[in-house]
Structure 1
Amino acid sequence: MDQDQVKQQFEELLTAKQLDLSAEQWERFELYYRELVDWNERMNLTAITDREQVFVKHFYDSISLSFYVPLQSIASMADIGSGAGFPSIPLKIMFPHLKVTIVDSLNKRIGFLNALVTRLGLSDVSCLHGRAEDVARKSEHRDQYDLVTARAVARLSVLNEFCLPFVKTGGLFAAMKGSDLPDELKEAKISLRELKGEVEASHQFELPVEHSTRHIVCIRKKAATPAKYPRKAGTPLKQPLV
Structure 2
Amino acid sequence: MDSIARAVDTASVPRLAALAALLADETRAAVCLALLDRRAWTGGELARHCGVAPSTISEHLTRLVDGGLLVQERQGRHRYVRLADPGVARMVEDLAAYATPVPGTPATSLRAHSAGEAMAKGRTCYDHLAGRLGVAITDALTTRGLLRQDAGFALTDGGVAWLTDLGADLTTTGKRPLVRPCLDWTERRPHLAGTAGAELCRLVLTMGWAERIGSGRAVRTTALGRAEFERTLGIGAEQFELV
More helix, by proportion: 2
> Larger radius of gyration, structure 1 or 2?
2
TM exceeds 0.5?
Answer: no
TM-score (normalised: structure 1): 0.28
More strand, by proportion: 1
